[in-house]
């Protein structure tokens, strides 16, 4: 019988099981989605919270820098990594801030979460930094700050309180960040 190799009855039974298997998988997917979407996330820092303690070794030289050292100065704390795309845009911006506002007391601290100094240096070769760069391989500071994205930047006032949080970096954030810093540094827009 050339028409089909297997008798009709057996073929239908196979089709039914296959159909039920796939629909069961569809149900499994929806269950998985439900479970995943509901995973709770830690509360992130908001304005007014005191900045957590954070210290990390400098990229060059063997000294370590501590956020508390800058009490009395306005600090722009930025967490970055060589693998983070938007960081390429934020570095030229931070150079501008350093050039324009450093003499008015702004302290920029860029903490890399790279696993090796070499990764961080290779990034800096393409995107030079004229501000202080530290390397926190153990990622103690990012955990303390509970970053919401990469890069993340925090504006910390002279009293050590967080006054602005920026998760990610978009070009349109530039004006807002500059204005927030100017407000804290005192003296209107230069």
Partner 1 sequence: MPVKLDVIPAGAGIQYLAATASAVHNAAEELTMVTLYRYPFAAMGSRCEIRLYASSEETAAACARAAIDDVLRLETKYSRYRDDSVTAAINRVAQAGGAIDVDAETATLLDYAAACYEQSDGLFDLTSGVLREVWSADRRELPDTDTLQRLLARVGWSKVRWQRPRLVFGFPGMEIDFGGVVKEYAADRAATLCAEAGFRHGLIDLGGDIKIIGPHPDGTPWAVGIQHPRIKEAVMATLDLFEGAIATSGDYERFVEIDGRRYSHILSPRTGMPVCGLAGVSVAAPECVVAGSATTIAMLMEDRGAQWLDEVGLPHVWMDQQLRVGGTYA
Partner 2 sequence: MTLAARLIVIAAVVALLANAGCATVQPWERGTLAKPVMAMEEPAHETAQKLRTYSAKEGGAAATGVGGGGCGCN
Partner 3 sequence: MGAISPRLAALTAAAMALPGVHARAADAPGEHPWGVDATHLEYSESGNRMRVRVNQASAVVPIGESFQLKANGIQDLMSGASPVFNAPGPGGKTQQVLTGASVFDNRKAGDIGASASIGDNQLTLRQGWSKENDYKSTWTSLEGKRDFNRKSTTLAVGFAFSNDGVSSHDAPDDFRTRIKRDFFGGVTQIIDERSLVELSVEYSYSNGFLSDPYKLVFVQSAGLLRDARPGRRRQTAVTVKYLTYVPAIDSSLQAVGSLSTDNWGIGSGALELQWKKELPGEWLVNAGARYYTQSSADFYAPLYLTPPGDAHSSDYRLAGFGSIGWIAGVTKQLTPNFSVQIAAERSYRRAGLRSGGTGIDADNYIWGLYLVTLQARF
Binding site for partner 2 (CB under 8 A): 14, 17-18, 21, 25, 28-29, 31-32, 35-36, 39, 41, 79, 81, 83-85, 113-115, 139, 142-143, 147-150, 152
Which residues of this chain interact with partner 3, rule CB under 8 A? Answer: 1-6, 11, 14-15, 18-19, 21-23, 25-26, 29, 32-33, 36-37, 39, 41, 58-61, 63, 65, 85-86, 88-89, 91-92, 98-99, 102-103, 108, 126-133, 148-149, 170-172
Closer CB to partner 3, 29 or 189, in the complex: 29
> 5 or 187: whose CB is closer to partner 3?
5
130 binds partner 1 (CB under 8 A): yes
Closest to partner 2 by CB, 114 vs 157, is 114
103 binds partner 1 (CB under 8 A): no
SS3 sequence of the chain? CCCCCCCHHHHHHHHHHHHHHHHHHHHHHHHHHHHHHCCCCCCCCCCCCECCCCEEEECCCCCEEEHHHHCCCEEEEEEECCCCCCHHHHHHHHHHHHHHHHHHCEEEEEEECCCCHHHHHHHHHHCCCCCEEEECCCCHHHHHHCCCCCCEEEEECCCCEEEEEEECCCCCHHHHHHHHHHHHHCCCCC
The minimum distance between CB 90 and partner 2, in angstroms, equals: 15
Under rule CB under 8 A, residue 66 binds partner 1? no
Residues interacting with partner 1, by CB under 8 A?
60-62, 121-122, 124-126, 128-130
């Amino acid at each position: 019988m050339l028409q089909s190799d297997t008798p009709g009855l057996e073929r239908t039974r196979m089709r039914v099981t296959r159909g039920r298997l796939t629909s069961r998988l569809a149900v499994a997917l929806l269950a998985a989605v439900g479970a995943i979407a509901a995973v709770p996330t830690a509360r992130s820092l908001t304005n007014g919270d005191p900045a957590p303690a954070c210290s990390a070794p400098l990229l060059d030289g063997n000294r370590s820098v501590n956020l508390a050292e800058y009490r009395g100065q306005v600090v722009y704390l930025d967490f970055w990594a060589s693998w983070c795309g938007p960081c390429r845009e934020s570095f030229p911006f931070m150079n501008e801030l350093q050039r324009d506002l450093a003499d008015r007391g702004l302290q920029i601290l860029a903490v890399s979460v790279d696993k090796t100094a070499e990764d961080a240096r290779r990034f800096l070769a393409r995107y030079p930094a004229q501000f202080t760069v530290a390397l926190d391989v153990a990622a103690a500071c990012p955990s303390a700050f509970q970053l919401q994205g990469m890069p993340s930047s925090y504006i910390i006032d002279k009293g050590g309180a967080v006054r602005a949080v920026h998760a990610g970096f978009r070009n349109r954030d530039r004006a807002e960040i500059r204005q927030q810093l100017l407000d804290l540094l005192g003296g209107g827009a230069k």
